[in-house]
Amino acid sequence: MLSMALVPHTPQAVAESLCVALDPLMTLHGFAAGQPGCSTSTVGVVYCSEHGDFRRRFPALAPDIGYPDDGACTDLNVHIDLDNPARLREVQLDGHGLEELARDAQRDDLQEHIGRLYAVPLGEAIPLLNEVMTAILSTASEASPSERDGPPSPS
């Protein structure tokens, strides 16, 4: 696993660190590799999934998202502030925060971890975000809520 103890703070290096950590997970679950956008004070990375594919894979996640247009995308947006220290500012799926996604996946056990994401420096937050997203996406894609029986928690 990528060591995130010291995350470089240039916008491009931060974006690359996030993509190196999350791209394998996100592409495994049907999203395109991260598409970064940088300014001098913030970094944003977008993970896009064709909406029809997303809905087939994750029917319980953010169930109110529905796009009738062919080719519409469902996006996971990760925003980072490059203050000292750099921190995650927001992670959301088309307006739905991680707290809501964890509830949709019946993973209320993740709420404490999600709360920590925004409080710790980026070097700690990126691996924790990977664990949280792994748990949410893996659980949500495994089975319908009535079929789940004790999915694994993040370490």
Read off the pLDDT of residues 55-72 as tens digits, 9 standing for 90 and up: 999 999 988 888 777 789
**Domain encompassing residue 95:** 11-142
In tens, the pLDDT along 20-37 reads 999 999 999 999 999 999
C-alpha–C-alpha distance, residues 78 and 90, integer Å: 6
What's the token pair of residue 72?
A: 């519409």
126 inside domain: yes
Task: Say what the pLDDT of residue 8 is.
Answer: 61
Task: Say what the pLDDT of residue 2 is.
Answer: 44
102 inside domain: yes
| Stretch 90-100: mean pLDDT | 96
50 inside domain: yes
Pick from 80, 69, 74: which is nearest to 48 by CA?
Answer: 74
Helix (H, G, I), strand (E, B) or coil at 32: coil
**Total count of domains within the chain:** 1
C-alpha–C-alpha distance, residues 109 and 21, integer Å: 23
147 inside domain: no
Contact 65, 74 (CB under 8 A): yes
What's the token pair of residue 56?
A: 């087939």
58 inside domain: yes
76 inside domain: yes
